[in-house]
Amino acid sequence: MQTRRRLLEAACRVFAEKGFHAARVADICRRARTNVAAVNYHFGGKAALYVEAWRHAFSLAKPSVAQIPEDWPPEKRLRAFVEDLLRNLLDTEANRPFSRLYLMELIHPTGLVTHLWRELIEPRRRVLLRILADLLHTDPDDPRVLLCDLSVIGQCRAPYLMQTADLEYLLRSPLSPHMVRRLVDHITRFSLAGIRGMAAETAQERSPGGLSRPPSTGPFSGQDP
């Protein structure tokens, strides 16, 4: 139905902006130009709407990373990956749903989408680990790959951490498509240089201790719905 789709899109935007807890059902309904009862009619409640909004956001975003050709050189694949993560930065109208939705769930775990994690997020991460392993001429379980993963992801998420106005303040420049391209370019080059620096280092001092334990619990362990 029309209303249902409008609600989903509004929900993506509001949940992405505020997070599950701080998002107001009334806000979502105002943006969707509908009544609050519609949420409970179509979805059964705020929590269920949240889960559906996740699915909706991912249904728009998912294919791209998975479609990076595996025979591209790893440098090119890294750029494509970064580009994909930063794609949602603009679209202030359409929404910047996926990247920030995910970020919000990381910060305030609701426990509502744990089952979507392995289905939707883990495969993406595995793509990046593969790229990094290729760049470092090692395998994806190498501790250095995990650290580089954190570095790349951290850089890509940084712009989503703040309001657009604050990002523009930091960069001293309005957030245009051109600016996003420049960000992609920077993060890719910066990371490639960082990775090559690691590859050049002697591996001896980072071999023993620390980074070697198998995963214990799982992600999204917390919950406060």
Partner DNA sequence: GAGAATTTGAAACAGGCATTTAAGGTTGTC
Partner DNA sequence: GACAACCTTAAATGCCTGTTTCAAATTCTC
**Residue list 78-107, contact with a second copy (CB under 8 A):** 103-104, 106-107
Q: What is the dihedral of CA 175, 181, 187, 192, to 10 degrees?
A: -170
Residue from 8, 34, 81, 145 touching DNA (CB under 7 A): that is 34
Residue from 4, 87, 108, 130 touching a second copy (CB under 8 A): that is 108
Residue from 30, 40, 117, 168 touching DNA (CB under 7 A): that is 40
Of 69 and 218, nearer to a second copy (C-beta) is: 218
- Given a contact cutoff of 8 angstroms between Cβ atoms, the answer to whether 60 and 97 are in contact is yes
Of 56 and 100, nearer to a second copy (C-beta) is: 100
Cβ 34 to DNA shortest distance, Å: 4
Binding partner selected for residue 162 from DNA, a second copy, none, CB under the kind-specific 5 to 8 Å limit: a second copy
What distance in Å separates the CA atoms of residue 142 and residue 198, rounded to the nearest whole number? 12
The one-character DSSP state at 140 is T
What distance in Å separates the CA atoms of residue 129 and residue 195, rounded to the nearest whole number? 12
Binding mask 14-43 for a second copy (x = CB under 8 A): ----xx-xx---------------------
Residue tagged 């080059």 (tokens): 189
Write down the H helix ranges in the chain: 2-22, 25-31, 36-42, 46-66, 74-86, 97-107, 114-116, 122-136, 143-157, 164-171, 177-200
- State the Rg of the chain over Cα: 19
Enumerate binding residues for a second copy (CB under 8 A).
18-19, 21-22, 103-104, 106-109, 143, 146-151, 153-159, 161-163, 165-166, 168-174, 176, 178-179, 182-183, 186-187, 189-198, 201, 206, 209-222, 224
